[in-house]
């Protein structure tokens, strides 16, 4: 793996998410790339743009920090954390103004200088729990 390919993981998070450079998606993600996440496959930049648009709208201050990057053959593994405040539309419910901080790991397969396949695991439930409005009185369930 070349140094340019090796830097693709850090560049992805910096340019796409931190700089909100939508054009970077088409530059780094192959047209027929397959992204596996939460039981769903997303195909290419055209499939990824709606996800990017929703998250960028919901979290205009979203910030990703890359903690580790490991490369082996054509695979790149990135350990990262992400934080932001839910101040915009995009998640299907009104903004709550609440902040979140979660972690994730992305594994990317690189070919021809582009991301061609990816597997991502991150704490989506933790994010939703942190940004949801909570009831002032807890609900108890008896078993």
Position 107 in a domain: yes
pLDDT at 141 over 80: no
Q: Tell me how far CA of residue 76 lies from CA of 2, 8, 70, 115, 131, in angstroms.
A: 12, 9, 6, 10, 30
In the structure, what pLDDT confidence band is assigned to residue 134 with cuts at 50, 70 and 90? low
Name the pLDDT band for 38 (thresholds 50, 70, 90). confident
- Facing residues of 99 across strands? 85
- Does any domain span residue 117? yes
Query: How many domains does the chain fold into?
Result: 1
Assign 38 to helix, strand or coil. coil
pLDDT computed for residue 42 by the predictor: 96
CATH number for the domain harbouring residue 87: 3.10.450.50
pLDDT of residue 8: 92
* Structure confidence at residue 74 as a pLDDT band (50, 70, 90): very high
For the entire predicted model, the pTM comes to 0.85
Domain that holds residue 42: 3-131
């Amino acid at each position: 793996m070349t140094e340019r390919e090796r830097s693709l993981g850090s560049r992805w998070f910096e340019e796409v998410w931190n700089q909100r450079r939508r054009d970077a998606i088409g530059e780094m993600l192959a047209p027929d790339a397959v992204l596996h996440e939460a039981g769903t496959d997303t195909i290419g930049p055209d499939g990824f743009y709606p996800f990017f648009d929703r998250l960028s709208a919901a979290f205009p201050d979203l910030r990703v920090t890359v903690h580790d990057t490991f490369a082996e053959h054509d695979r790149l593994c990135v350990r990262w954390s992400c934080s932001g405040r839910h101040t915009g539309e995009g998640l299907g419910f009104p903004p709550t103004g609440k902040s979140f901080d979660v972690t994730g790991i992305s594994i990317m397969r690189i070919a021809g200088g582009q991301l061609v396949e990816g597997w991502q695991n991150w704490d989506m439930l933790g994010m939703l729990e942190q940004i949801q409005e909570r009831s002032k009185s807890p609900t108890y369930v008896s078993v």
